[in-house]
Amino acid sequence: MESKDIIELCKKNNVKLVDLKFTDLPGTWQHFTVPLSQFDEKIFEQGIGFDGSSIRGFKEIEESDMVLLPDASSFVIDVFGKEPVASLICDVYEPGLKTRFSNDPRAIAQKAQEYLKKSGIADTAYYGPEAEFFIFDRVEFGSDQNFSFYRVESGEANWHDNIEPDGSGYKIRNKQGYFPVSPLDQTIDVRRDIVAELHRLGIEVEKEHHEVATAGQAEIDIKYDNLLAMADKIMLFKYAVKNVARRYGKTATFMPKPLFGDNGSGMHTHISLWKNGAPLFFDKSGYAGLSQLALWFVGGLLVHGKSLMALCAPTTNSYKRLVPGYEAPTNLTYSARNRSAAIRVPMYSDSPTSKRIEFRPADASCNLYLAFSAILMAGLDGIAKKNDPGKPVDGNIYKLDRNETTIPQVPSSLVEGLDALENDHEYLLAGNVFPKEIIDTWIDYKRTVEHDAVRLRPTPIEFEMYYDV
């Protein structure tokens, strides 16, 4: 779409405001809005300024001036407010528009795609993430020097103190939320409205359903796309999910583990490489139909699996999900059909175009641009070095005797993942895709702002366990 077409569409649809969105370092959308009367084609070339020192992970106050350039291809009409607005995703530039801001997450995704093409291995990396989430009726939380609490409410949950307003008695037990029909499934209308909004926003949905956990856990799968386009789409997807939930008087979260004792929300990510319109991961004679190239790609993911977690499961809460027993992919191995492995090879179809791998430990708390790029860089490093992924593990790994297996595990905490990234990040620097500065900034931010905030505070369960010592 051309810039002039956007302005004409805005006028045609009586859109009077233009919303400019970009992503901060942790991976959250930021925005500001300008009237259509102040928005012309020159902005697509000259940009519009903002204060980068107020954005997490961007600039210090003495170098705060930055510039946004809208990407015309990202144009949609946003109807989640009182009146429709034009919405555009932007790239971040240094003043003068001479260079991209090196720590702009979207810039890294763009560089990763270019690096793939220059490698000669492939020209396209397709991604199909399954970003799970919860739809709650209500959530309350708070923390200060002298208190800390949270409370989640859901009419469909089977909690002893959870009183359903209509007294119908339809409750979903822990781990029994996969595919129940209504009235057990009480968030079906919300999900279907989300699907309708996604289609209106140009995002093709493949299926939607209730997920395994109680209390409104959901999954809506969208059609695969290239790395950058999919990162953009999942940002828009998360935005639509939260706003539709709010429309229903509910609240949605992509927090990996909001509930104790039930499954958490992951982002199982399907990946395949293509060249000249042909799939590269298929070989009829290979294990599970995988080509040698695909196996080397898997080898790269396994070799760098621990450091990848610092970018793909980057919150302290991520590691409350990554524990054995809740379909959590904690084992750094690969297998056909096996959901207890970090890398699963889906076997639904024999078609070469459907052959892909599924990287399961990631979750949607990540910065999508960084996580998708890191996955690609790890896989390409595996191909370059011909990393042997070893033998697959086809049994239920959770039932193996831990004294008889030496399968590597994902980190057990955020700080362990950050330590791994600090010691293993050279593969991300290849082709200058990841600047060393953004890796250092990421590690410092996650350690000092997030990990320490959790580490230093007592929790309610500690009072239950230790108050009477």
| Active site (annotated) includes residue 451 | no
Strand 217-222 relative to strand 133-136, pairing = antiparallel
Q: Which residue in the list 31, 100, 339, 447 is annotated as catalytic? A: 339
| Active site (annotated) includes residue 45 | no
Q: How many CB atoms lie within 10 A of CB 278?
A: 10
Q: Which residue in the list 91, 104, 156, 211 is annotated as catalytic? A: 211
Q: Which residue in the list 78, 132, 185, 327 is annotated as catalytic? A: 132
| Active site (annotated) includes residue 211 | yes
Q: Which residue in the list 24, 130, 197, 450 is annotated as catalytic? A: 130
In angstroms, the CA 345 to CA 413 distance is: 26
| Active site (annotated) includes residue 327 | no
Q: Which residue in the list 156, 358, 363, 381 is annotated as catalytic? A: 358
Counting other chains too, the contacts that 461-467 makes at CB distance below 8 Å and 24 or more residues apart are: none
| Active site (annotated) includes residue 137 | no
| Active site (annotated) includes residue 401 | no
| Active site (annotated) includes residue 60 | no
Residue 183 preceded by cis peptide, ω within 30: yes
Backbone angles phi and psi of 60, in degrees to 5: -85, 165
- Answer yes or no: are the C-beta atoms of 77 and 84 closer than 8 Å: yes
Query: Encoding tokens for residue 219?
Result: 């999954």
Q: Which residue in the list 51, 114, 206, 452 is annotated as catalytic? A: 51
Query: Encoding tokens for residue 149?
Result: 């609490």
Which amino acid, residue 49?
Answer: G
DSSP state of 115: H
Provide DSSP, 235-296.
HHHHHHHHHHHHHTT-EEE--S--STTS----EEEEEEEEETTEESSB-TTSGGGB-HHHHH
- Answer yes or no: are the C-beta atoms of 82 and 61 closer than 8 Å: no
In angstroms, the CA 201 to CA 32 distance is: 20
| Active site (annotated) includes residue 360 | yes
Q: How many CB atoms lie within 10 A of CB 314?
A: 27
Query: Locate tokens 């293509």: which residue?
Result: 274
Q: Which residue in the list 210, 270, 321, 360 is annotated as catalytic? A: 360
Q: Which residue in the list 106, 191, 210, 268 is annotated as catalytic? A: 268
Q: Which residue in the list 219, 327, 363, 381 is annotated as catalytic? A: 219
Q: Which residues are catalytic?
A: 51, 130, 132, 211, 219, 268, 339, 358, 360
